[in-house]
Amino acid sequence: MPCRSNVERTGTRGRFVFPVLALVLILCPMVWSSCATPPAPRDVPASLPLQTATVDQLLSLLREQETAIQTFKGLFRAQVQGPGIPASQQVEGAAYYRRPDHLRLQGFNRLGMKLFELALDDHQYSLRTINGKFLTGQLADLHRVDTIARPFKLSVLAMSGIIGTPAPRPGERVVLSEEDDRYRLDLFASDSAQIPYRKIWLDRRLLQVTREDRLTASGDLEATVEFDDFRSIPGQSALTSDASVAPPVTKPFRIRAQDGEGRSRLQLVFHEVNANVPVTPEELQVTSAAAEAPRT
């Protein structure tokens, strides 16, 4: 029998992390990654026992996982394909993040040449491309560019794997059901809503989110994202260097997302994630052109 609960949400900001990976790949369509081989995926051991949890326990767990990452530095490979992209594109990159909404991304080619820099801060973006072009403005403005709209949304959804799947908002209704070795949470916008707008699956062995679907008002699939290759990241306080002050956190190192029509796809493979380490203001800003100008 499904369980129902009205819930509250914490940490609603910071959902736009990694959005412009697709934008940069479209602006630089000839970008290719190095030949480095990504780490081999690690499957969840079938020998682990299935855990039991109530809807309230799962929602509390979502909030804990969401707030577990306050800062991080990561190395990744991104692959994007979709309308406006001539071929499946890849780029090696580095990411710096601080909750709730500060992000800096750098992309490099196989020779280590910087292809782009992007900084996000409170719904503002700053982007510098390989040709020195500098763009800045409101993040909402990027949604008006049709060729990057879908990859943009997929990138937002994909990054929830690292920063945490958003918990339901106040007043939303949640229905819990079991599907073999997974729990499923159906999220409804209100008590009277008949069609969920989100579906979240959690593995019952790790109690980690393995999939999320976003649905339209009519119930059609808008986008889906899947998480796997879960790995433990050593816990550390963002304020001290003492790694014993926080327990390890588990995060997916491979994330795949696609839109409902299957026309746009995104895959992120993380090589390294350092969670809750100090991140300076300089690490979150686009490097000035003067700072990178060659000395004479």
**Residue 69, phi then psi, degrees to nearest 5:** -105, 110
pLDDT at 107: 78
Strand partners, 134: 128
Q: How far apart are CA 135 and CA 125, in angstroms?
A: 8
Q: What number of other Cβ atoms are within 10 A of residue 167's Cβ?
A: 26
Question: Shortest CA distance to 275 belongs to which of 242, 236, 232, 228?
Answer: 236
By percentage, how much of the chain surpasses pLDDT 70?
Answer: 70
Q: Which domains, from first to last, does the chain contain?
A: 3-280 (2.50.20.10)
pLDDT digits (tens, 9 = 90+) for 110-164: 778 887 787 878 778 777 777 777 877 776 665 554 454 466 567 768 878 888 8
pLDDT at 173: 97
Q: What number of other Cβ atoms are within 10 A of residue 229's Cβ?
A: 18
Strand partners, 79: 90, 267
Q: How far apart are CA 254 and CA 41, in angstroms?
A: 8
Using CB atoms within 10 A of its CB, is residue 130 exposed (0-12), middle (13-18) or buried (19+)?
Answer: middle
pLDDT digits (tens, 9 = 90+) for 10-53: 333 444 444 444 444 434 433 333 334 455 666 677 788 999 99
pLDDT at 129: 74
